Structure formats: structure tokens, C-alpha cells
A and B are shown apart, each in its own frame.
Chain A
Amino acid sequence: MKTRRKELDVDFIGSQEPLTTSEEKALSDFFGKKKELKKRKIVRLKRTTHKVTSKA
């Protein structure tokens, strides 16, 4: 049986109140780290591919 996903049912999202400094920092730290991790992963993958290609 197919599960039906609930539909988004809101009139508005968000707030005109600004984020606090700690909220801003928490988001920036989180997304920054995520981006950095991805970058490292790509570099590691490139190195591995290079090694394999060199051996061949």
C-alpha cells in the first residue's frame, strides 16, 4: 500500500524577529562544518582515484 505524505498546510512560515547571535552562530557552525567535511571527502576521493589511475 502506498503511504500518502501529509500536505503542508500553513498560511505563513517564519518570523520578522531577527535571529539571535547564538542562533546565527549555531547555524553557521553547523553548515560550515558540513561543507568542510564534504570538501575533505572530495579531496580524499580524488587522491584515491589518482592513485588507482597512476598504478594502471
Chain B
Amino acid sequence: MRKRTEIGLDFIVDKLTNSIENVVTGDSFPTEISIVSKVELKNISKKNGWVFNWLSELKQPERDIYKLTIFNNPNIIQGLLSVQVKSDHVYMHLIESAPFNKGKNKMYAGVPGNLVAFACKLSFQRGHEGNLAFISKSQIIKHYEETLGAKHFGGRLMIIETQAALKLIDKYFKNQ
């Protein structure tokens, strides 16, 4: 059986680093990112407000699923990330904020940004120079260009290249 190891790591654009921010109080909380287990995905379902089928993501052996949690509070998943390390880049299949971190009434801000920066860091660690690719809906391409420094590759594809990846890592992982 494939053994998953815990990797502790941690991202928003233009806010505090290595943390997520309580939208109401403005307090920030340090975060960590680690591999998620099947047991932890037990309550991650459409019935509980999640959009994607994370259990089916976990079943795909070439993908790694990470959870973002607040430091010292590993049981409350703030957001999830599904990535695949390809031969020359990292492909980001999915990112999803927890249901309580979605929409105007979200509890914490900064979850997706943290996870994108983590994927960039992973790309550097695997020798892919921070190169990252992902799919975007056409109406938010500009938003990704403005907030992540992503480039529209064509069609529904977007990429983040070395320089933009470095900026994101610098912003979100400043304390590491």
C-alpha cells in the first residue's frame, strides 16, 4: 500500500504570509499543508457543501491531495489541493476552499492563494522551475492574470512561470 508522508508547509495576494485571515476579526492564523488521508475525506462530500468529488481525486494514484489547516488544528480542513507532478511541470487539477470559507460570508480569506503558492513551491522542489498549469473558466482568466501573475496559454489553459511563481512564494512563504 502506498504510504503517504506528512509534509508541513504553507499563502493571499498582498496580505499576511504563511497564514489565513479571519474575515470578521482580521486576526491571522499560521497554516500548514500536508497530505490528506482517506479517513479525513470521510465528511468531504457534496452533501456537506463541497463542489468536487475529492474521494475520486484521491483514488487517482498519480495525483497528490493536500489539505490546508491552521497550525495546531489539523482536523479542520480549510481547503484542498489536487496536483500531479508531470515530467516538466506541475499540473494543478483542483483547489477548493472549505464550504465555510466560500462566498461573501467566508470565515477565512487566503486559502486558495496559499495553496497555489504551495503548488509553485512543489514545482521548484521537483526541479520544474516553478512551472505550473491549470484550467480556468474564461470569465476569470483576467483575475488570475492580475492576482497570480498567470499567463493565458490558450483555450482554457493558464500557466504560471518561474518569475511569477517566485513572487507568489516570496509573498506567501516569507517566513520559511
Chain A interface residues toward B at CB < 8 A: 4-17, 19, 23, 26-28, 30-32, 34-35, 38
The tally of residues in B whose CB lies under 8 Å from a CB in A reads 47
Check if A5 sits within 8 Å of B147, measured CB to CB.
Answer: yes
Q: Does B175 sit at the interface, judged by CB under 8 A?
A: no
Which residues of the partner chain B approach A16 to less than 8 Å between Cβ atoms?
52-53, 56-57, 93-94
Which residues of the partner chain B approach A9 to less than 8 Å between Cβ atoms?
143, 147
17 more CB-based (< 8 A) A-B contacts, given A6-B147, A8-B112, A28-B88: A5-B146, A7-B113, A10-B143, A11-B103, A12-B51, A12-B94, A13-B136, A14-B92, A16-B52, A16-B56, A17-B135, A26-B153, A27-B86, A31-B133, A32-B87, A34-B129, A35-B129
**CA separation between A32 and B52, bound complex, in Å?**
31
State how many angstroms separate the Cβ of A25 from the closest Cβ of chain B: 12
Chain B interface residues toward A at CB < 8 A: 12-15, 51-53, 56-57, 82, 86-89, 91-97, 101-103, 109, 112-113, 116, 128-129, 131, 133-136, 140, 143-144, 146-148, 153-157, 159
* In the complex, residue of chain A having the shortest beta-carbon distance to the beta carbon of B155: A23
State how many angstroms separate the Cβ of A34 from the closest Cβ of chain B: 7
State how many angstroms separate the Cβ of A30 from the closest Cβ of chain B: 7
Check if A19 sits within 8 Å of B135, measured CB to CB.
Answer: yes
Check if A31 sits within 8 Å of B95, measured CB to CB.
Answer: no
The 5 closest A-B pairs by CB, nearest first: A31-B88, A13-B95, A8-B147, A14-B94, A11-B102
State how many angstroms separate the Cβ of B24 from the closest Cβ of chain A: 17
Check if A7 sits within 8 Å of B157, measured CB to CB.
Answer: no
Residues A27 and B89 in contact in the complex (CB < 8 Å), given A12-B95, A13-B116: yes
* In the complex, residue of chain B having the shortest beta-carbon distance to the beta carbon of A11: B102
Check if A5 sits within 8 Å of B143, measured CB to CB.
Answer: no
